[in-house]
Amino acid sequence: MKCNTCHKDSCVRQVPVFVALPDHELHKVEDIIESDYYAKGSLVFREGEQSDSLFVVNNGLIKLTQTSKEGKQHILRFLFPGDYFGQFALLHNKQHYATAEVVESGYICRMRREDFMPLIASNAGLAFSFLKSVSEQLQQADELAGALHIFEAEKRLARLLLHLYSRQSLLTGGEERYHTLFLPAAKKEFAAMIGTTPETLSRKLNKLERMKIILVKNRTVSILDMQALSNIAEII
């Protein structure tokens, strides 16, 4: 089942690494794409499984997790429409370093190695764009890892809120009265993402509310003062 026959918007045209390609090159990428529907709670792949595909989120929400030696699950990041994953195992012919679980049901597109690698090999522009995109992902991962060790919890929280807002606002068109985001995980999991406890997370959220920077209702967060939150995150 081809992705561009199932959905109005092609997976390819949502992904920054592909959008700069001319139409005739985009069609070549679209021709090798398959699409499958994944229900909430299902797994796209498990940590340790061998990879044979590059995946793209067409719609829905995915979380990548790793399991520690003690059996505890840790959320690495969330993937929104237009995000791609599985590329590291694909390029190096290795096992997946994480588990990809569906948080919100949707369609996931895939490009198999046997189809994708020849396309990369024959298109220097696509290869460079893909390499640049992978490099940017590695840089972001390094910055996040550094932030967990260097920055205090309040700054880590502010940065994660702004990151989630920037990703989710692409889907809403920014038409809300206030800048709104949805916490895609329970507080326990969300706290683990910034290296703190649920109790500390609650205190930090309450503090930001008292400062009238955010408003929290269940798992919905409205950013009332974007500049103040950016100042806490030290993002210029």
Per-residue pLDDT tens for 188-221? Answer: 888 887 878 889 999 999 999 999 999 999 889 9
Give the tens place of pLDDT for each residue, 144-188.
555 555 458 888 899 889 888 887 776 555 455 568 898 887 888
Measured between alpha carbons, how far is 84 from 11 in angstroms, rounded to an integer? 10
Tokens of 190: 């969300």
Measured between alpha carbons, how far is 106 from 220 in angstroms, rounded to an integer? 21
Tokens of 200: 């500390």
| SS3 state of residue 50 | strand
Please identify, in words, the CATH class of the domain defined by 3-147: mainly beta
Spatial CA neighbour of 167 closest among 225, 81, 226, 64 = 81
**Other CB atoms closer than 10 Å to residue 96's CB: what's the count?**
20
Measured between alpha carbons, how far is 141 from 76 in angstroms, rounded to an integer? 9
Sign (positive or negative) of CA dihedral 222, 228, 230, 233: negative
Reported pTM: 0.74
pLDDT number for residue 8: 36
**Other CB atoms closer than 10 Å to residue 138's CB: what's the count?**
11
**Other CB atoms closer than 10 Å to residue 215's CB: what's the count?**
14
pLDDT number for residue 170: 60
pLDDT number for residue 1: 42
Domain boundaries, the chain: 3-147, 151-233
User: Could you tell me whether strands 220-223 and 214-217 are parallel, antiparallel, or unpaired per DSSP bridges?
Assistant: antiparallel
Helix axis angle for 124-150 and 153-172, nearest 10°, is 140
Measured between alpha carbons, how far is 146 from 159 in angstroms, rounded to an integer? 13
pLDDT number for residue 3: 43
Give the tens place of pLDDT for each residue, 77-116.
888 888 888 877 677 778 888 999 999 899 999 988 889 8
Contacts of 153 (CB under 8 A, 6+ apart): 194, 195, 196, 200, 201, 204
| SS3 state of residue 111 | strand
Match domain 151-233 to its CATH number in 1.20.1530.20, 2.40.30.10, 1.10.10.10, 1.20.1050.10: 1.10.10.10
